Structure 1
């Protein structure tokens, strides 16, 4: 079921409708919303009968905006809310700024930081303004007004980033006429960032020192500044958000103390397209490491900051480097990642080591921030599991409905044809024994891997003509044979079990294409595919379209009836003995050049986008989908909804504000803020994070941050006894990740054998000596357990520390 996301009065246009063709490309029709999945577009009785298919697209309608003059708006303001819990305070804040202007007129300066006399003078002037101002106030919060006065002379980098990014977007709106402007006053505050007890913030403690940090000392005092300087923080990612975070952290002096340090890692390198939104990089930095260039920029901004850059991916393969020693000395982690998998992994690391995590992301003009605090908030993983824009594999493979689907399909084809086969062969040549081990006792997944290897080896080209032949046959397979096969299974008039047309709704009925060397799109596909295949196997390329067209004419193309399925599908019936013979020995592949290609969208000479664009458009033609030009295809296929610096700056500002709270160790949930925003609408939403959920076993409450702690090498039998005696829990399964250490489903003899083994010995047996955990490390064990009444209950993970000493402590 698909939700249309439309409302009464929205306007839409249609394309690709069969039967009721009067709708195609007709003037926009006004929508009436009937339900989240149904709309009405008015009277269609005069149109021909609907047969199927079609796509609707919402049309954005221009809107005229007018605003009150400044003089009127000052006295009769309208507000944009940034925090629903503070909406009632907006008139008070508005009047406070009016009083601040009166204060500067009267005294020639702002109130001094945390100066009691100046704060009293401000409150007196506020009372005068209130008597003459028509703005209605529900209540007067004198504590808020005092904090307003005491911090007015201060200046904080992240608050500047928040206000500056919103103001910058408003300038862009005024210049372009695109997106909805703020109407009319927007106030942002983060007063909850101040200490709960502000008594140590005195005029003496917050007086200027004559240094670069005076503006923030005016707000938080000298002691807090020293704490900032001695922080040790890990920033994961040096892209758009990472650059903004590093800038904020450097300006605040984080890591500038004797004990402080910033660590940043990013395995990526700078591309031309990064320069528009990653402001730590310059044109001469293209092709250089993001993390090292960003670190150098931080040193120029603030030479006092101690910063270390790495070019490592965070993941299981780098846990030997980012180990317990590394995490134990951190004060926290700030993510600047672009994928859910890495975010989930870092959430797991922060959970393991009980470190706070600052999480953020942007999508065009939209963004979000989540603060994760041990023992107080929920973990990121709770909300991080779904991709709103993920495309189902069945849609990509057989039922594309728009150009996004065909472009994603083409991107996947690029990976599957020009990177993965080379990598498979490379792995085989580096370790041929692995295949032989697989074939001794193969699992179904192992068999599939060997099939893929066999297919990759069989198609190795020996000349450029071989590459052209492969490209031409690949065109036929993808855009003719596969479509013909789908239609043989589901003909155009096919009906579902309920009698409804199969090809209806979002399912477009395709048609096979016929190759024509004179068609530019057809020849472009073959030219790009042949050259990419040649590059991946070290064969000299040929870019001459005429020469390739002549080669294409020599290729013998089978008809559909004699076409053979791809090897990965047709090998299903092969016996194990056949597979053993099918893989040639490594010596037969000596001298082979292997160059797995990584998709690069910004190099117009590498043919990557030529291949993806032509493949996508040909598939779009199969399904009567409107095609996209190379520029549009690049934007979508590169998986970029263009990041804009206003939204990344706003996200980084909001993240850094939350850092102030994390550093102070706020224990009250309501003081933290998770945020979502859209600079386009504009809409801003700050909310209290979700609390860490409470669960129960044997009348004992626990949260996801809680863990059983077990130290020392023990047998599985002793481990079970410990939980039986101390926690009144009966264990039926123990697992470490995907490895099952113990299960009630094991055979009796295997159960008895493992019960006498240490947990480390079992892991060494399952993982191998090299991959097994080492002394001094720890693993997280997942338990299936029953409580004292024999009911299955959810229990905390076990943090099992492996050390040289014997015995079991808990």
Structure 2
């Protein structure tokens, strides 16, 4: 950030400092308070400040009405624990906030009555409009008066504050970033997105949508893509019936190529997978090797050696756990492979997970590469 020294870097550091200092959460009740105040700030206070700065009869510098089409005059929201949409927003926001801080989420959060009782404990400050807040109404004009003359100095001061803030953090403190995933209905991601969109829609009297429609918009799913997806799913399920029924020869299955634009549907018998043979063993790409008892890296390499294979590279996702070309990797020999995966890939396996998969590159004693199946390492 110091090297960049621009306004974006300054804003990033300000956000980090705000998260770790002013808005730091240590309990789930803190997360509920953060979500409740977030609702108040985004959908009530900011709207009231906008209305204070630009009343309904306000005009631009040219004399034209400020709130003329396509602008809509907004209305602040009054939070109520009796409104299911308000509670769902607070629930989703507090759960995700707790996840980023590594705070356990209690089961009662899904109980509307108990959640409402927790929200009622939050003290919400009264709104006080700020004087002198200026919003440019002429899109063609440029205003540089508020630009920082020395972002580098501000960044330096922010870093000093962050260093002092770090001293108050517990040892090993680490936040968790969340990767947006719209297709998991249990992770509260789409609940938050739909809640944010619908609350903002209420501010401007725009029709609201349900979570499914919000998911369609978030994924930009158009009807043609949805039709192709449904077609592919149906064809896969037809083949799955054959697998579940059992006893079908390879000739009984079908690969299908479909193009809705032509339209063209072409079905063909699948070819058998390539069989790889090595020292009395044989496998295909559909096979999977498993190793139990939470091995160390040394034990995993020896496990490959016992199969007549030399593993010269082992990776987990996009992270390299071991490569024989790097001398420093030999220091990892006596560490558990799962610990290396957690540290290098910055991932924490959920409690129900018993294994994870690694990809190994191997060769034989003559230096010829040997394609091997995915290896599942069981650590619980």
> TM-score, normalization: structure 1?
0.24
Q: Larger C-alpha radius of gyration, 1 or 2?
A: 1
